[in-house]
């Protein structure tokens, strides 16, 4: 027999672990149609049965609050899996069964994989599996997914019970709601309102819960019935508010928990829930989420993550750099001088090297984040910061992305954008990934260092601090702006419940880290290569007739070896990029930038690292090492039109203008649409130009 089974469960219940235990290497990762939620599928065989296993997104509930919940729900309704294997954390039954109950209310065929039995046992909990199965009316298989214990029994149980769909579970929600539900259900039945897809009582329940997805579907389907149902729901809502000071949603959730807790109290767990509350996890939380200690611990953890990501990845980053440097040298000696060589070195090797150069960073960051996520600390952090971030339309979990992108200084927006994956709410996630590029990534630092050293010699630290503050304030205000305009919408309700702490396993960390890193390599690689070649061409063509072809790295604009006056600068001025730079002067002169600066900024679209070296070439200094730019600093100090005002205007511009291409590609991939990549390039650049012009004009006016 062949059948589809869906794995479902709360985040951290061991879904991925079970999925791996079931399917081994026979799995593949894709997306659910139309959304960026990851879809993992695999195959597994037991006796004569073959299972197609789908890993649903982890959710706490089946409301339509988050993309994950909608995806999970739609999959069950549309694909009708033969069985939902609901992974339940046995050490945390009460909370986990909330989801189970919702599957049962949908009338889905469910069996419980009662996971983490080892943890439950360690905590001195005894679960009567037989009784639980009887009371819930579902097959229950105790397991330890981590060791694969219970795997065969689970597959046998699935094969035995798959097929027919049970009647939807009917819970009592108290007199008021029950009466209304009956009335609504009758009308839904007689009008055949959405009943081809959903059970009638469930539709009624969703109207009471104000479920956006079902409300929309209902309105489109039969607006008369829809209107009637909304009116009835509203009347009930008013009545509950007046009599009990509560809403249907709250009441429904309460009753579901009540239902679960009454089942558990009937001898399923030999442990009262009150004793459970004193479990070690709660004791740790007393310290970790303490009003004063909590934030301090959090700062320590963030600094630790930051150190870990950027310090320890330095060694492998150098390996990559050395390797690509070596490769460039090899090509340099093997190829004859000419366009082909220039293309291979500047277009291809630099492009691919640029992508792969980020790999160690991403790997280390995801390793660190996976650790915080798997251990349960990430949830605490989000919990503590949620109130602050919420004011700006973001989410507590946004903080990670900001820090990684350079919130403290010297991060990178590429892993930062990818770090937004831990955010479950789509709007907050989008607002976060569009604003993290304002942070001070490691590639912007040399630009600041150069300008600060040249023009703010006596106030270096203060100016650097001001730069950091401006980028944070800017990011938060822009987030607020986006969330009140184009990404408008109510804040996603935050699940306040905190999963118990757990020591992550090496295998779990390795899998989580590798999956994410590999996706980056595969997706970013192809696009970046193309863009890098285009940029190379822009800075190379049209060529000066009198000049021999530049052999050197055109993207970094080293001076060719020919002994003429300013050959690099002359060739650059002649190229498309140079002409663009000059054309742009019409606008940028109001911000104080000349055409040389513009070319450097154009190069910065590719990678911010290029800004300093291109400035050097454009100001005819020959090779400029971004690490050691004192000579360029001297040169700028005496150059026409340069002064502290121009310098700060350029700093402002650098903070806000378009993310580099690798970051843009990541934004596109993570947001699921080119639209947002284009938006962030256009919007950020426009914002930067405006801020610089306003600053430059105001400052010169005050000084005059
Ligand atoms: P998911 O979020 O539901 O996909 O959960 P994961 O599969 O990533 O598991 C979360 C953590 O729980 C990982 O560190 C796992 O190694 C661990 N874990 C999973 N199953 C078990 C189990 O049966 N016993 C124990 N002790 N740990 C487990
Ligand atoms: Mg997982």
Taking only the tens place, the pLDDT of each residue in 529-585 is 776 777 778 878 888 765 444 444 444 444 433 334 456 667 778 889 889 999 999
Angle 630-638/610-618 helices, nearest 10 degrees? Answer: 50
262 within a domain of the structure (yes/no): no
Ligand 2 centre distance from Cα of residue 207 (Å)? 31
Tell me what pLDDT residue 580 has. 92
Tell me what pLDDT residue 252 has. 92
584 within a domain of the structure (yes/no): yes
Q: Of residues 609 and 52, which shows the higher confidence score?
A: 52
CB 6 within 8 A of CB 82: no
Tell me what pLDDT residue 336 has. 83
Domain stop point among 184, 211, 246: 246
113 within a domain of the structure (yes/no): yes
239 and 315 housed in the same domain: no
Residue 438 has pLDDT above 80, yes or no: yes
444 within a domain of the structure (yes/no): yes
Peptide bond into 94 cis (omega under 30): no
Phi-psi region of 393 (alpha: psi -120 to 50; beta: other; left: phi over 0): left
Q: Specify the range with the lowest mean pLDDT, choosing from 197-211, 348-362, 449-463, 561-575.
A: 561-575
201 and 95 housed in the same domain: no
Q: Specify the range with the lowest mean pLDDT, choosing from 205-209, 355-359, 440-444, 447-451.
A: 355-359
How many angstroms separate the Cα of 341 from the Cα of each of 330, 529, 567, 689?
11, 16, 19, 36
310 and 400 housed in the same domain: yes
379 and 410 housed in the same domain: yes
Ligand 2 centre distance from Cα of residue 443 (Å)? 33
Ligand 2 centre distance from Cα of residue 515 (Å)? 11
Q: Which residues line ligand 1 (CB under 6 A)?
A: 9, 11-17, 58, 115-116, 118-119, 144-146, 374, 502, 504-505, 508
Stretch 422-437: mean pLDDT: 90
Q: What is the DSSP string of 470-522?
A: HHHHHHHHHHHHHHHTTT--PPPPP----PPP-PPPHHHHHHHHHHHHHHHHH
Ligand 2 centre distance from Cα of residue 37 (Å)? 12
Stretch 302-324: mean pLDDT: 80
* Number of domains making up the chain: 4
Domain stop point among 135, 161, 187: 161
Residue 590 has pLDDT above 50, yes or no: yes
Residue range(s) defining the domain that contains residue 391: 293-484
Residue of 85, 115, 120, 146 best suited for mutating to test ligand 1, as the one with most atoms within 8 Å of CB: 146
258 within a domain of the structure (yes/no): no
Taking only the tens place, the pLDDT of each residue in 380-408 is 888 888 888 989 999 888 988 998 888 87
626 and 603 housed in the same domain: yes
129 and 185 housed in the same domain: no
Domain stop point among 246, 268, 303: 246
Taking only the tens place, the pLDDT of each residue in 153-171 is 999 999 999 877 788 999 8
Q: CA torsion angle for 176, 182, 183, 189 (degrees, to 10)?
A: 160
452 and 596 housed in the same domain: no
How many angstroms separate the Cα of 171 from the Cα of each of 175, 181, 300, 356?
11, 11, 46, 54
Taking only the tens place, the pLDDT of each residue in 225-268 is 999 999 999 999 999 988 888 889 888 988 898 889 888 888 88
Q: What is the pTM of this model?
A: 0.56
Is the four-CA dihedral 637, 641, 645, 650 of positive or negative sign? negative
Ligand 1 centre distance from Cα of residue 41 (Å)? 18
User: What span, in angstroms and rounded, lies between the C-alpha atoms of 540 and 622?
Assistant: 16
Q: CA torsion angle for 79, 83, 88, 90 (degrees, to 10)?
A: 180
Q: pLDDT category, 645, cuts 50, 70, 90?
A: very high
426 and 461 housed in the same domain: yes
544 and 454 housed in the same domain: no
Instruction: Using the atom order of ligand 1, give the atom closest to the CA of residue 19.
Output: 7
Tell me what pLDDT residue 557 has. 44
Residue 678 has pLDDT above 90, yes or no: yes
SS3 630: helix
397 and 466 housed in the same domain: yes
- What percentage of residues in the chain have a pLDDT greater than 90? 41
How many C-beta neighbours within 10 Å does residue 35 have?
Answer: 16
Nearest CA to ligand 1 atom 14: 504
Ligand 1 centre distance from Cα of residue 283 (Å)? 21
Stretch 614-620: mean pLDDT: 70
SS3 350: helix
How many C-beta neighbours within 10 Å does residue 176 have?
Answer: 15
Average pLDDT in the chain: 85
275 within a domain of the structure (yes/no): no
Instruction: Using the atom order of ligand 1, give the atom closest to the CA of residue 143.
Output: 23
68 and 200 housed in the same domain: no
CB 572 within 8 A of CB 617: yes
Tell me what pLDDT residue 139 has. 95
Residue of 17, 281, 495 best suited for mutating to test ligand 1, as the one with most atoms within 8 Å of CB: 17
DSSP state of 333: H
What is the helix (H) or strand (E) element at residue 540, kind and residue range? Answer: helix 506-540
The length of the chain in residues reads 704
User: What span, in angstroms and rounded, lies between the C-alpha atoms of 119 and 13?
Assistant: 12
Using a CB cutoff of 5 Å, list residues around ligand 2, an ion: 16
265 within a domain of the structure (yes/no): no
183 and 156 housed in the same domain: no
Phi-psi region of 491 (alpha: psi -120 to 50; beta: other; left: phi over 0): beta
SS3 127: strand
404 within a domain of the structure (yes/no): yes
């Amino acid at each position: 027999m062949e059948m589809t089974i869906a794995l479902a469960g709360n985040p951290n219940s061991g879904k991925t672990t079970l999925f791996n235990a079931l399917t081994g290497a026979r799995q593949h990762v894709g997306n659910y149609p139309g959304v960026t939620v990851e879809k993992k599928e695999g195959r597994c065989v037991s006796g004569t049965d073959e299972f197609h296993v789908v890993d649903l997104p982890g959710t706490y509930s089946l409301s339509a609050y988050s993309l994950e919940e909608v995806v999970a729900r739609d999959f069950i309704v549309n694909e009708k899996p033969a069985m939902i294997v609901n992974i339940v954390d046995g050490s945390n039954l009460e909370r986990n069964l909330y989801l189970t109950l919702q599957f049962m209310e949908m009338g889905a065929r469910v069996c419980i994989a009662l996971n983490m039995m080892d943890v439950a046992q360690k905590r001195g909990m005894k679960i009567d599996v037989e009784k639980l199965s009887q009371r819930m009316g579902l097959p229950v298989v105790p397991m330890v997914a981590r060791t694969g214990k219970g795997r065969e029994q689970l597959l046998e149980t699935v094969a035995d019970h798959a097929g027919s769909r049970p009647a939807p579970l009917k819970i009592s929600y108290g007199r008021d709601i029950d009466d209304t539900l009956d009335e609504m259900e009758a009308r839904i039945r007689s009008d055949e309102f959405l009943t081809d897809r959903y059970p009638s009582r469930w539709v009624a329940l969703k109207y009471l819960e104000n479920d956006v997805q079902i409300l929309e579907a209902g309105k489109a389907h039969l607006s008369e019935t829809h209107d009637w149902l909304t009116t009835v729901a509203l009347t009930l809502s008013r009545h509950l508010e007046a009599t009990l000071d509560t809403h249907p949603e709250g009441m429904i959730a309460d009753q579901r928990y009540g239902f679960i807790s009454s089942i558990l109290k009937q001898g399923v767990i030999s442990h009262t829930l009150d004793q459970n509350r004193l479990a070690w996890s709660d004791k740790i939380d007393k310290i970790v989420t303490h009003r004063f200690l909590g934030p301090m611990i959090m700062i320590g953890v963030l600094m630790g993550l930051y150190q870990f990501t950027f310090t320890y990845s330095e060694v492998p980053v150098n390996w990559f750099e050395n390797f690509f440097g070596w490769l460039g040298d090899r090509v340099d000696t093997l190829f004859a001088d000419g366009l082909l060589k220039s293309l291979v070195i500047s277009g291809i090797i630099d492009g691919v090297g640029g992508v792969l150069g980020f790999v160690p960073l991403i790997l280390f960051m995801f390793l660190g984040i996976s650790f915080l996520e798997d251990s349960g600390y990430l949830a605490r952090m989000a919990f503590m910061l949620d109130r602050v971030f919420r004011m700006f339309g973001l989410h507590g979990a946004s903080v990670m992305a900001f820090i990684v992108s350079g919130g403290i200084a010297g991060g990178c927006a590429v892993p930062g954008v990818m770090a937004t994956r831990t955010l479950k709410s789509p709007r907050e996630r989008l607002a976060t990934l569009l604003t993290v590029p304002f942070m001070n990534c490691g590639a912007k630092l040399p630009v600041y260092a150069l300008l600060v050293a040249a023009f703010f010699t006596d106030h270096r630290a203060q100016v650097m601090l001001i730069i950091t503050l401006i980028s944070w304030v800017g990011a938060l205000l822009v987030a607020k702006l986006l969330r009140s305009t184009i990404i408008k919408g109510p804040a996603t309700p935050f699940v306040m419940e905190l999963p118990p702490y757990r020591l992550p396993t090496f295998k779990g960390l390795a899998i989580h880290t590798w999956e994410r890193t590999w996706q980056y390599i595969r997706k970013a690689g192809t696009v970046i290569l193309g863009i890098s070649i285009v940029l190379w061409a822009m800075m190379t063509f049209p060529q000066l007739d009198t000049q021999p072809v530049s052999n050197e790295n055109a993207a970094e604009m080293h001076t060719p070896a020919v002994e003429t006056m300013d050959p690099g600068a002359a060739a650059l001025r002649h190229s498309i990029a140079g002409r663009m730079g000059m054309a742009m002067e019409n606008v940028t002169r109001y911000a104080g930038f000349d055409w040389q600066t513009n070319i450097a900024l154009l190069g910065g679209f590719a990678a911010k690292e290029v800004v300093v070296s291109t400035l050097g070439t454009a100001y005819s200094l020959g090779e400029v090492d971004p690490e050691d730019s004192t000579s360029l600093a001297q040169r700028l100090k005496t150059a026409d039109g340069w002064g502290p005002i121009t310098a700060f205007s350029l700093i402002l511009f650098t903070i806000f203008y378009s993310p580099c291409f690798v970051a843009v590609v990541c934004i596109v991939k993570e947001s699921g649409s080119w639209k947002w990549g284009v938006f962030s390039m256009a919007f950020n650049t426009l914002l930067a130009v405006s801020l610089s012009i306003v600053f430059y004009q105001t400052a010169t006016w005050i000084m005059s």
